């Protein structure tokens, strides 16, 4: 697990300090080696002969705590409450494989060929129906750009909008994959406060004003308004227009990352921010949680100028999203009752969330959490005396895995929180996992 440990928060990215550290190292020379940073670096050089060749942006890359947990957490004896993997058991794989075989026979030459950088027009048409469920009704296929998962979309939008040292405002805690992207582009992530109703508008505005006063450029707000990863909260309907109004007034773009919006347990959907503002919002959604992450297909909707840049960035980055995956998704959407399938998944995730909530009440009544109304995650606050990061090896020994809260911040916060995922383990295993977690915590509290 030690390799999961994120590197210490780096100096503010793009800051003169970070720049100097790098220049010093490049200048080589014995002077640079006199400081502690250089000594640490020279230790690493022994094992990596390219250490002095990396771009500054690579200094900010860190191992995802979640990815590094994967191998331990996927041991069959460990109950993993760590990963955000959707449970795919109910997918109609048999029927689907027949249809995919037919698609390959009929259109294999297209499926295995390069495609459009903007994405398959058929798929761009199909996603309109999905977005309409969250109130986005004014979009044409030409407004859509397909990406390799939302992760790639986050990379593209940051690539075209941000220079080193620019500010992105984000909720805290924050989706770990987005933090990884922002860090790799040397963006400064500044957190605005959130509560059980999501991002707090007043805090959002104060954060913009403070950044502007400090002479920094705020490039966008990054928000996961529905069933947040990892916080589990949903931005209230009342706050949505207020956030948009503030963003517009300060000329700050809003990047709305919405992979979980259709996974509300009671079937309720919330109006997408994009449905209220076509000019100032870049909307991202993904097939990963509603169909399958292995396809690596997601989509973006952006105002015209930004959309054009996104297509160019897609071209530069991946040439084109894979035809094979896009055609597999359209085959699925065209032949199955996908709304029914999503509704089945909603029911399943609801049961798992209820089970986790009940087990937490039974075994860990001294912890606190907000029960989410959808999505995959419970954000658990643990007592002051415990440290989620330090406790993790003991939890793994006790055969339960979670993600320590520290992975969702860049500044060392999160030691009194952990993210518990209820999406993948069965209800029985969720209960066993929470019971094991409670015995680890009880032990820690006793010693
Ligand atoms: N954004 C959020 C909030 C997520 O939770 C995830 C996946 N965990 C992603 C983006 C990336 O999803 P994709 O599989 O589409 O790359």
Given a cut of 50, is residue 13 above it in pLDDT?
no
Given a cut of 70, is residue 33 above it in pLDDT?
no
170 forms beta bridges with: 191, 222
Given a cut of 70, is residue 21 above it in pLDDT?
no
| Pair 330, 299: CB distance under 8 Å | no
Task: Report the DSSP pairing between strands 417-421 and 403-404.
Answer: antiparallel
> From ligand 1's centre to the CA of 134, what distance in Å?
18
pLDDT range class, residue 43, cuts 50, 70, 90:
low
Given a cut of 60, is residue 58 above it in pLDDT?
yes
**Beta carbon of 166 within 6 Å of any ligand 1 atom:** no
The angle subtended at Cα 436 by Cα 226 and Cα 350, nearest 5°, is 30
- Taking the C-alpha atoms of residue 234 and residue 228, their distance in angstroms, rounded to an integer, is 6
**Beta carbon of 234 within 6 Å of any ligand 1 atom:** no
**Beta carbon of 177 within 6 Å of any ligand 1 atom:** yes
367 forms beta bridges with: none
Pocket test for ligand 1, best of 66, 69, 88, 151 (most atoms within 8 A of CB): 151
Q: Percentage of the chain surpassing pLDDT 90? A: 83
pLDDT, mean of residues 346-352: 98
- On whether the pTM is more than 0.95, the answer is no
Q: How far apart are the first and last CA of the chain?
A: 22
Alpha helices in 140-238 (DSSP H): 149-161, 176-184, 201-213
Pocket test for ligand 1, best of 175, 283, 317, 329 (most atoms within 8 A of CB): 175
Given a cut of 70, is residue 17 above it in pLDDT?
no
Given a cut of 70, is residue 23 above it in pLDDT?
no
| Pair 31, 157: CB distance under 8 Å | no
Predicted local distance difference test score (pLDDT) of residue 301: 98
Given a cut of 80, is residue 382 above it in pLDDT?
yes
> From ligand 1's centre to the CA of 259, what distance in Å?
6
Pocket test for ligand 1, best of 286, 297, 379, 421 (most atoms within 8 A of CB): 286
| DSSP single-letter state for residue 7 | P
Residue range 266-296, pLDDT digits in tens: 999 999 999 999 999 999 999 999 999 999 9
* Residue of 267, 288, 286, 226 whose CA lies nearest to 87: 288
* Residue of 149, 87, 131, 194 whose CA lies nearest to 430: 87
Atom of ligand 1 at shortest distance to CA of 224? 3
pLDDT range class, residue 447, cuts 50, 70, 90:
confident
Predicted local distance difference test score (pLDDT) of residue 168: 98
- Taking the C-alpha atoms of residue 59 and residue 7, their distance in angstroms, rounded to an integer, is 10
Task: Give the per-residue SS3 of 207-221.
Answer: HHHHHHHCCCCEEEE
- Taking the C-alpha atoms of residue 431 and residue 144, their distance in angstroms, rounded to an integer, is 42
Alpha helices in 48-148 (DSSP H): 56-59, 65-73, 93-111, 121-132
Residue with CA at minimum distance from ligand 1 atom 5: 229
- CA distances in angstroms from 172 to 65, 224, 260, listed in the order given: 17, 11, 18
| Pair 385, 445: CB distance under 8 Å | yes
Q: Which residues contact 177 (CB under 8 A, 6 or more apart)?
A: 64, 151, 154
Predicted local distance difference test score (pLDDT) of residue 66: 65
* Residue of 116, 135, 139, 113 whose CA lies nearest to 126: 139
The angle subtended at Cα 210 by Cα 206 and Cα 213, nearest 5°, is 140
66 vs 27, more confident: 66
């004003």: which residue's tokens?
209
Residue range 186-222, pLDDT digits in tens: 999 999 999 999 999 999 999 999 999 999 999 999 9
Residue range 225-263, pLDDT digits in tens: 999 999 999 999 999 999 999 999 999 999 999 999 999
The angle subtended at Cα 335 by Cα 271 and Cα 341, nearest 5°, is 50
> From ligand 1's centre to the CA of 83, what distance in Å?
12
| Strands across the sheet containing 144-147 | 144-147, 298-301, 281-286, 253-257, 218-223, 167-171, 188-192
Predicted local distance difference test score (pLDDT) of residue 44: 54
230 upstream amide cis, omega within 30 of 0 = yes
């Amino acid at each position: 697990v030690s390799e999961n440990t994120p590197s210490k928060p780096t100096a503010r990215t793009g800051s003169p300090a970070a720049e100097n550290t790098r220049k010093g190292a490049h200048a080589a020379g014995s002077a640079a080696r006199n400081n502690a940073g250089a000594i640490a670096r020279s230790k690493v050089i022994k094992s990596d002969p390219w250490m002095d060749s990396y771009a500054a942006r690579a200094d900010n890359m860190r191992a995802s705590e979640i990815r590094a947990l994967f191998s331990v957490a996927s041991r069959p004896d460990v109950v993993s409450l760590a990963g955000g993997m959707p449970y795919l058991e109910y997918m109609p794989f048999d029927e689907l494989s027949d249809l995919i075989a037919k698609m390959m026979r009929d259109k294999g030459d297209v499926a295995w060929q390069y495609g459009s950088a903007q994405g398959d027009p058929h798929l761009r048409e199909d996603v309109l129906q999905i977005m309409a469920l969250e109130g986005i009704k004014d979009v044409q296929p030409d407004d859509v750009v397909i990406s390799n998962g939302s992760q790639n979309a986050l990379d593209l939008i940051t690539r075209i909008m941000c220079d080193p040292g620019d500010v992105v405002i984000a909720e805290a805690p924050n989706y770990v994959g987005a933090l990884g992207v922002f860090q790799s582009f040397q963006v400064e992530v500044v957190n605005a406060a959130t509560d059980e109703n999501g991002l707090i508008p007043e805090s959002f505005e104060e954060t913009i004003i403070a950044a502007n006063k400090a002479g920094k450029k705020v490039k966008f707000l990054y928000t996961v308004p529905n069933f947040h990863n990892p916080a589990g909260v949903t931005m209230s309907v009342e706050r949505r227009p207020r956030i948009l109004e503030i963003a517009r007034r300060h000329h700050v773009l809003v990047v709305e990352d919405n992979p979980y919006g259709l996974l509300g347990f009671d079937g309720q959907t919330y109006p997408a921010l994009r449905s209220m503002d076509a000019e100032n919002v870049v909307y991202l959604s993904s097939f990963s949680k509603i169909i399958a992450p292995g396809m690596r297909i997601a989509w973006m909707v952006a105002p015209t100028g930004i959309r054009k840049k996104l297509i160019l960035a897609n071209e530069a980055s991946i040439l084109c999203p894979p035809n094979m995956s896009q055609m597999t998704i359209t085959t699925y959407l065209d032949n199955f009752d996908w709304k029914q399938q999503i509704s089945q998944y909603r029911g399943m995730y609801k049961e798992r969330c209820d089970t986790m909530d009940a087990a937490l009440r039974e075994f860990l009544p001294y912890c606190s959490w907000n029960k989410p109304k959808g999505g995959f995650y419970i954000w658990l606050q643990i007592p002051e005396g415990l440290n989620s990061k330090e406790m993790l090896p003991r939890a793994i020994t006790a055969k339960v895995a979670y993600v320590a809260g520290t992975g969702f911040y860049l500044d060392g916060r999160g030691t009194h929180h952990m993210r518990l995922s209820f999406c993948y383990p069965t209800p029985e295993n969720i209960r066993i996992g929470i019971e094991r977690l409670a015995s680890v915590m009880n032990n820690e509290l006793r010693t």
